[in-house]
Structure formats: C-alpha cells, structure tokens
Amino acid sequence: MASQEAQVSKRLAWIQDELEALKASGLYNTIRTISSAQGAWLEVDGRRVLNFCSNNYLGLANHPRLVAAAREVLDRYGVGPAAVRSIAGTLDLHLELERRLATFKHVEAAVTFQSGFCANLAAIPALVGKEDVIFSDELNHASIIDGCRLSGARIIRYAHCDPNDLEQKILEAQGTYRRGLVVTDGVFSMDGDIAPLDQIYAISSKYDLMLMVDDAHGEGVLGHGGRGIVDHFGLHGKVDVEVGTFSKAFGVVGGAVAGNSLVVEWLRQRGRPFLFSSAVPAADVAATIAAIDVLEASTELVDRLWENARYFKAEMRGLGFDTGQSVTPITPIMLGEAPLAQQFSRELFSEGVFAMAIGYPTVPKGKARIRVMLSAAHTREDLDRGLEAFARVGKRLGVIAG
C-alpha cells in the first residue's frame, strides 16, 4: 500500500508544482464562502460585507415574489426532475417558461437548458460540424469557446468587436466551408463593452451566415425593461440564436436559446445537454417565470440598476480610477498586475467590501483588475460606502493620488 501511495503522489506531483506556481505569481484563486442569501450585503467567511461581486443585477436572487413562487411549486412537484428533458423531464412549467420568455423577448420561440454554459454547448455543435466554419470574437466567453471546440468546426477568431476584421476573415475563408456561423458575446463580462451587433448582423446577412449572440450579461440589463441586446439594437427577427442565462439578472439558474423557431425545434432534437443531462427542477423554473412577471410588470429595477451604474462609475472616475471600456453596469477597475489586484481586493475586504480581483487567464496578463458588479439592490448609501473604501485603499496602495 505504502509504495502504491508513493507512486500516486509522484504521478500527481506536477499538480503540486502547478499550484505552487499559481500562488507564486498571484494567480491562485482563493474561493470565499457565503453563508447568507444574495443581496447588497452578504455574510462572507463569517463577516458582513458590501457585495460588489454578484451577477444579481436586479436583486431578484432573493426577491420575495420569486421565493414564494418556488416554495409554492415545491409541494406539488417535489425537488428533483428525475429525467432528462427528452425522456420524462419536460414539465408543463418548462413549456410555460419557454412561452413566456419568447413573448417577453418578442421572438418566435425559446428552449431552456440547465445553464447558459449548457445552452452554448447545446447550440453550437447542433448548428455546425467539421465541414463548417465559426467566426468567433477573440474575447468570447469560455462556454462559447468550448461549444466551438466540441462542434469540430474550424474556428476563425476575429479581432474583438471589429466588424471590419470579421468581414476580412469571412472573405479569406470564402469557398472553403459548407455552413458558417458568426458568434459573439453580447456584453463582454470582463470589460463591460457591448458587441456592435447591428454591424455584425449587416455583415453576417450579407454573406448569408448564421448569427448567434450570447447575451448572458445583457439579459435583464439591456434593451427595453431588460429584453436584451437584440431589443437594444432593434434587431428582432434577425438574430437566429440568442443565448441567455437565468442565473444573472433573472436571479435564478438555467439557460435559454431564444430566436428562430426552426433553430429551437432543432435544439430539442439535437442539443446534447438537453438530451443527456437532467432538467432544471420545478422550483427553479417557477422562480424564473416569476422573474419574467416582475420584469414585465415594471422597468423600475432595470432603471435603478442603470442609475446606480452611472453614479458609481462617474464617482470612481472622479476619484481618479481607470474604469476601462465599460458601457454597462459591469465596472472594471484597471490595476495592471495580478498581485496588486489581489492585494487591493484583500484590503477592500478588510474595509468590509467584497470585490473580486480578476487576473490571467480570465483576462490578459498585465490587465488584472477589480471587477465591481453593480445591482439594483444597492442603495445610494451602499454605493457611497463602497466609494469611500475604494478611495482609502486606492490612496494607500498608490493607485490614485492621495
């Protein structure tokens, strides 16, 4: 036994080395533990802190109406789905959610998945294969990248948010493939910039390519009352595949593809996570339907989110911080090297503010940052508390003039 253990540890010693290297370069990710409901304030590692980390844009993750909706269906449906969607896992509630989402977003049809990640893994390999080509923004989300790789299609990356480079790449590849797909994030989650979807649509339609946008950070944020990036650009009926998530602004969990009804029907037949991984439980589905109720009833939460974002960013810039390219509530505070970003995050935490440092490989080397996620759940007083902490730490670490 002893010699076997020694062999195992030798076999896995490389992991120890890799972990040590991560720690030495300040890239080791220390994961904190939450022991409260999501909201403007959290209990993190036993401390009450102001929350600048969550994707809970509208404060729906612990909204009384959503919680009540989940509780109500628990008694009727129980907790587990017990099957994949295509065998015995499709509940009337899943279909109701799909209808409600399609109506909310003014699209023909929608199909839901276990997560946004799963939606990408379902959609991309169902649409393209090894004779095909994908034109993908170089900063697309990991789940798009993985979906592209799984498809076996040739992946051609174009320069970030650059329609001219996209067109150039399309021209270079002409005649070498069967089908083509253009895919982009809607809102880029690390920089908070928005894909020029109107220009991308103009190009993809000119060359008759399928168009897919992953609007995980735009769903519930962009467009009228949070109807997303397609609504923001007035491109209804023109984008074939709109991926969304229910885990961010919608406050629950799950993913979706909304758009063309043929695409949706195809994904019910060929979306692998839909066919081979169990369905989202009823309580989560009911809570997501309640999120749509809240969004349809009023634009108040979306309006407050944007008001908070505008206020916080203007104040941060006034203090002398670099908030990058963001035009959305995602607010990067650009710091440069990863160790500085990590130290900044730790010092904020000791000031009672929870804001994560993000470094390589999530963002390029030398572009480490603190990412502040604003929410409609924050009061003006919360934001002022956060700004004061940023000012103190920023001066102490020499990031802003003191």
Ligand X SMILES: *Cc1c(COP(=O)(O)O)cnc(C)c1O
Q: How many residues does the chain have?
A: 402
Mind giving me the DSSP string for 77-111? H-S---SBIIIII--HHHHHHHHHHHHHHT-SEEE
Among 109-117, 123-131, 319-327, 341-349, the segment contacting ligand X (CB under 6 A): 109-117
**Given its phi and psi angles, is residue 59 left (phi above 0), alpha (psi -120 to 50 degrees) or beta?**
left
- Are the CB atoms for 89 and 277 separated by under 8 Å? no
Residue 248 among the catalytic residues: yes
Q: Is 378 in the site for ligand X (CB under 6 A)?
A: no
371 binds ligand X (CB under 6 A): no
Q: Nearest-CA neighbor of 115 among 235, 305, 268, 284?
A: 284
Q: Tell me which stretch binds ligand X (CB under 6 A): 64-72, 112-120, 220-228, 332-340.
A: 112-120
> Which value, in Å, is the radius of gyration of the alpha carbons in the chain?
22
**Could you say whether residue 255 binds ligand X (CB under 6 A)?**
yes
CB of 34 to ligand X, least distance (A): 16
To the query of whether residue 217 is one of the catalytic residues in this protein, the response is yes
Q: How far is the CB of 170 from ligand X (least distance, A)?
A: 22
Helix, strand, coil share of the chain (percent; to 5): 45, 15, 35
Q: How far is the CB of 58 from ligand X (least distance, A)?
A: 15
Task: Compare residues 223 and 255 and give the one whose CB is closer to ligand X.
Answer: 255
Pick the catalytic residue: 63, 94, 169, 217? 217
Nearest to 142 by CA among 185, 182, 181: 185
CB-based contacts of 377: which residues, under 8 Å, 6+ apart? 39, 40, 56, 58, 59
In the complex with ligand X, the residue whose CB is nearer, 84 or 397, is 84
185 forms part of the interface with ligand X (CB under 6 A): yes
Q: Judged by CB under 6 A, does residue 117 bind ligand X? A: yes
Cβ–Cβ < 8 Å for 351, 383: no
Among 143, 260, 331, 345, binds ligand X (CB under 6 A): 143
- How far apart CA 197 and CA 222 sit, in angstroms, is 13
> Which residue number places its CB atom closest to ligand X?
116
Which CB, 146 or 165, lies closer to ligand X?
Answer: 146
Contacting range for ligand X; rule: CB under 6 A; set: 110-118, 148-156, 190-198, 351-359 = 110-118
Nearer to ligand X, 51 or 247 (CB): 247
Structure tokens at 337: 């090297």
**328 lies in the binding site for ligand X (CB under 6 A):** no
Candidate list 63, 248, 367, 378, residue with the active-site label: 248
Residues 306, 159, 244, 374: what is their CA dihedral angle, to the nearest 10 degrees?
-30
Q: Which of 160, 188, 219 is nearest to 327 (CA)?
A: 188
401: buried, middle or exposed (CB in 10 Å: 19+, 13-18, 0-12)?
exposed
Q: Compute the least distance from the CB of residue 139 to ligand X, in Å.
A: 10
Q: Which residues pair with 42 in a beta bridge?
A: 49
Residue span binding ligand X (CB under 6 A) among the ranges 104-112, 114-122, 145-153, 267-275? 114-122
Q: In terms of CB distance, is 121 or 387 closer to ligand X?
A: 121
Separation between Cα atoms, residue 330 and residue 27, nearest integer Å = 22
Extended strands (E) in 180-307: 180-185, 210-214, 241-245, 255-259
Given 189, 204, 247, 326, which residue is catalytic?
A: 189
Using CB under 6 A, which of 63, 94, 105, 141 touches ligand X? 141
**Residue 90 binds ligand X (CB under 6 A):** no
Known catalytic residue: 36? Answer: no
Is residue 359 within the footprint of ligand X (CB under 6 A)? no
Number of residues lying near ligand X (CB under 6 A): 13
Near ligand X in 189-228, by CB under 6 A: 189, 214, 216-217
Interface ranges with ligand X (CB under 6 A): 115-117, 141, 143, 185, 189, 214, 216-217, 245, 247, 255
- Residues tagged active-site: 189, 217, 248
